[in-house]
């Protein structure tokens, strides 16, 4: 098979929303299991697939500038984390007025088992100096960014994907951030950031820089198109805020929207996740009036992955029924009814409403 054939088959099961740069939603089945099969994991890329020279350079405010290969990364202690990644733009199409940006429905979310070195171990090799504030992560992908650029100093002819994290978080082993080189037990595929990428648990997935090429410790806070231009909540009535942790959200995975179900007891199932620690409660409503019934919530199978919930629906009569599911997280955040509108359409965690018919 050629490289192009490989790419085409890796993409065949996804719902493409943009051919170039390639962006695709997961099909609904991607949310059913604990782990999303790689070929069903959504893809979000701002630029064409890059080539990568196989080296990760680490510099800036460090005592020992370092260059690592894939073999060097593999020689560091190996860590595995199942991580739910959600694009901050997931659900944008449900916002009104419709924001500009990639037209994501509700399936820019997936969970994979990632394997790699801890970012804290990688940084320790280079020894960040005491003056370090932020850590900048550069992808190998770049290209024109006409019409979209927000920051005035952006080179719209040749922009590179760059994001940053606070040094304190990047260097913290407990943050469990990976420089990942495997996804679901295989080497990373091109669309997911081969040969290695960042995976930042709990953050909206924009933080998880693919095709990672350079890491620099900075002594000033980082600004850049993908940090302070885009991925900013531009609230209509309060100061702008950076997109960071995933908002609490529940999804109904069974039944599928619009399904026709037989009469009799039916177990409604779904997933729930939050970037603010575990989900502590999921409730289901069978009317539009807000009568909420507790669902059975499974404990997390890991600290950074979605949880299963289920609800025994015993008395569904013939006809159409609405189903809603609402999650609450450990920090007390509850999903809103109305998406929190912001100009670029990020962080829509509104309560999902679907209907099914019973015959």
Ligand X SMILES: Nc1nc2c(c(=O)[nH]1)N[C@H]1C(S)=C(S)[C@@H](COP(=O)(O)O)O[C@H]1N2
Which spans of this chain sit near ligand X (rule: CB under 6 A)? 41-46, 85, 87, 139, 141, 161, 192, 205-206, 208-211
Q: Which residue is nearest to Mo ion (CB)?
A: 87
Least Cα distance to 294 among 318, 272, 320 occurs for 272
Q: Are strands 197-199 and 178-183 parallel, antiparallel or unpaired?
A: antiparallel
**Of all helices (H) and strands (E), which one includes residue 83?**
strand 79-86
Q: How far apart are CA 325 and CA 249, in angstroms?
A: 9
Provide, rounded to whole angstroms, the least separation between the CB of residue 83 and ligand X.
11
Residues numbered 17-46 forming contacts with Mo ion, rule: CB under 5 A: 44
Q: Which residue is nearest to ligand X (CB)?
A: 139
Listed in sequence order, the residues at least 6 apart from 354 whose beta carbon sits closer than 8 Å to its beta carbon are 252, 255, 257, 258, 322, 323, 324
Provide, rounded to whole angstroms, the least separation between the CB of residue 13 and ligand X.
14
Least Cα distance to 251 among 198, 303, 324, 305 occurs for 324
**Cα atoms found within 13 Å of the Cα of residue 355, Cβ hemisphere only:** 8
Provide, rounded to whole angstroms, the least separation between the CB of residue 311 and ligand X.
29
Choices 87-95, 296-304, 306-314, 336-344; region in contact with Mo ion by CB under 5 A: 87-95
**Cα atoms found within 13 Å of the Cα of residue 359, Cβ hemisphere only:** 4
For ligand X, the closer CB: 21 or 261: 21
Q: How far apart are CA 347 and CA 109, in angstroms?
A: 12
Contact between residue 115 and residue 185 where contact means Cβ atoms under 8 Å apart: yes
206 binds Mo ion (CB under 5 A): yes
For ligand X, the closer CB: 180 or 297: 180
Residues numbered 43-62 forming contacts with Mo ion, rule: CB under 5 A: 44
For Mo ion, the closer CB: 161 or 266: 161
297 binds, among ligand X, Mo ion, none (CB under 5 to 8 A by kind): none
Choices 34-42, 65-73, 79-87, 152-160; region in contact with Mo ion by CB under 5 A: 79-87
For ligand X, the closer CB: 101 or 280: 101
Contact between residue 283 and residue 252 where contact means Cβ atoms under 8 Å apart: no
229 binds, among Mo ion, ligand X, none (CB under 5 to 8 A by kind): none
Binding residues vs Mo ion (CB under 5 A): 44, 87, 206
């Amino acid at each position: 098979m050629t490289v192009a054939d490989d790419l085409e088959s890796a993409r065949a099961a996804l719902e493409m929303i943009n051919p170039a740069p390639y962006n695709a939603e997961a099909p609904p089945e991607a949310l059913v299991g604990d782990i999303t099969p790689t070929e069903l994991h959504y893809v979000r890329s701002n630029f064409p697939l890059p080539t990568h020279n196989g080296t990760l350079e680490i510099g800036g405010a460090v005592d020992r500038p370092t260059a690592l290969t894939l073999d060097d990364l593999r020689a560091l202690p190996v860590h595995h984390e199942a991580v739910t990644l959600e694009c901050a733009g997931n659900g944008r199409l449900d916002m009104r007025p419709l924001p500009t940006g990639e037209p994501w429905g509700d399936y820019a979310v997936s969970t994979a088992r990632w394997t790699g070195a801890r970012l804290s171990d990688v940084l320790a090799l280079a020894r960040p100096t005491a003056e370090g504030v932020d850590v900048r992560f550069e992808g190998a992908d770049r290209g024109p960014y006409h019409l979209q650029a927000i920051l005035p100093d952006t080179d719209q002819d040749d922009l590179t994907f760059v994001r940053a994290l606070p040094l304190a978080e990047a260097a913290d082993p407990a943050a469990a951030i990976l420089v990942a080189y495997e996804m679901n037990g295989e080497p990373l595929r091109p669309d997911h950031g081969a040969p290695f990428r960042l995976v930042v648990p709990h953050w909206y997935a924009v933080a998880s820089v693919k095709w990672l090429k350079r890491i620099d410790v900075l002594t000033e806070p980082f600004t850049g198109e993908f940090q302070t231009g885009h991925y900013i909540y531009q609230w209509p009535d309060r100061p702008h805020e950076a997109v960071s942790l995933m908002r609490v959200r529940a999804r109904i995975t069974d039944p599928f929207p619009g399904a026709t179900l037989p009469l009799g007891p039916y177990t409604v199932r779904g997933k729930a996740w939050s970037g603010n620690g575990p989900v502590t409660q999921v409730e289901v409503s069978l009317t539009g009036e807000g009568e909420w019934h507790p669902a059975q919530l499974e404990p997390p199978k890991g600290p950074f992955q979605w949880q299963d919930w289920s609800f025994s629906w015993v008395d569904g009569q013939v006809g159409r029924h609405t189903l809603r599911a609402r999650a609450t997280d450990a920090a007390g955040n509850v999903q809103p009814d109305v998406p929190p509108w912001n100009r670029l359409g990020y962080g829509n965690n509104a309560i999902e409403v679907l209907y099914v018919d019973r015959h």
